Amino acid sequence: MTTAIWSPETLAHMPGAEIWIGVRTPGTEVAERVTVIRDTLAADGIPIVEAVAHDDKALLAVHRPEFVAHLREIWQKWDDGGYHPDYGADRVVPYVFPTEAMLAGMPAHDPVATHARAGLYCYDTMTLVGPGTWPAARAAVDAALTAADLVAAGERVAYALCRPPGHHATPAGYGGSCYLNNAAIAAQALRDHGYAKVAIIDIDAHHGNGTQAIFWNRPDVFYGSAHIDPAAGWFPHYFGFADETGTGPARGTTLNIPLAPESADPTWLAALTRLRDATESFAPEALVVSLGVDAAADDPESPLRITPSGYHQTGTILASLNLPTVAIQEGGYHLPSLGTLVTETLHGLST
């Protein structure tokens, strides 16, 4: 049976809103996602344990220290700087981003002003930081690391109820409602536990550009993803295409399968079978599943049409790899169906 891991600290993150194409709108990445999933798992009889605190070894193996320090400190600096009451900015909201368009090949000075530093490691305006963001993100990491520990100790499947999600977080950047990359950290932890090669299969509706970036040139970790085609106008827009396969010694260890809007179970399950077969060819010793369920038919964040049965079959396909498996919660935003979709996937994974 699958063991689920969670932390009450993951409820602390309250993004408050998203700023999407310049408009402040209510966000869908809400704390209720955790309680809905947790309560459904409990009602289903799946054992739930609290995350154990871990050090930063695996975290700093996939994220740059200066980025982690920034994320840990930026809210307090924002609050101390008076932005909150004076400007009505109840969350850290970047307004300038040091991209190549601005840098133009020049060396940039490290800004002093907090409002300038706000965009230093962020790549969108959707992903706001509040007083509970760092505690929640760090607690999600502990949940992922606890799941990796359980699998390394002999459990076949362990599920980390991570919030906020993580697969859009890059080595030195946050965005896409993601701050720290829980799946990448779990994969690194499994490597540290002695598994020579690890595969990550991402079933979130959106491409995990952060996970791909972290392992882009590492031949020891395979990344495979089925997701809504970014060419159809969906996040992350710039990545997730079929011609992205890794670089250098890692060429061939990335497989992206973009799917057309309105794709339903048959197309989805065919893509998962391809990912399963590619993973088998890679011959990993352990598996991480980025378990997003926002490809579901009722989810507001994608135009895919996957059913609960489709998610159960997804789990069954991945279970056929017969690998020690860590499942990491990513997206999924339709609260009435969220718990069922996660539970169905876990039942499939546990077959």
Would you please indicate which residues are annotated as catalytic (active-site) residues? Answer: 168
Q: Tokens 């159809």 correspond to what residue?
A: 232
List of residues 6+ apart from 232 with CB closer than 8 A: 260, 261, 303
314 contacts 280 by C-beta, under 8 angstroms: no
Contacts of range 70-77, beta carbons closer than 8 Å, 24 or more positions apart? 70/117, 70/120, 70/121, 71/121, 71/129, 71/133, 71/134, 71/137, 71/174, 71/179, 71/180, 72/134, 72/138, 74/114, 74/117, 74/118, 74/129, 75/129, 75/130, 75/131, 75/133, 75/134, 77/114, 77/117
CB atoms within 10 A of CB 250: 18
Rg of the Cα trace of the chain? 19
275 contacts 255 by C-beta, under 8 angstroms: yes
Q: Tokens 């919030």 correspond to what residue?
A: 163
At residue 290, what are phi and psi to the nearest 5 degrees? -80, 100
What does DSSP assign to residue 18? E
Q: Round to the nearest angstrom and report the end-to-end CA distance of the chain.
A: 9
For residues 14 and 81, give the distance between their C-alpha atoms in angstroms, rounded to a whole number.
Answer: 20
Token pair listed for 122: 């962020």
For residues 305 and 295, give the distance between their C-alpha atoms in angstroms, rounded to a whole number.
Answer: 6
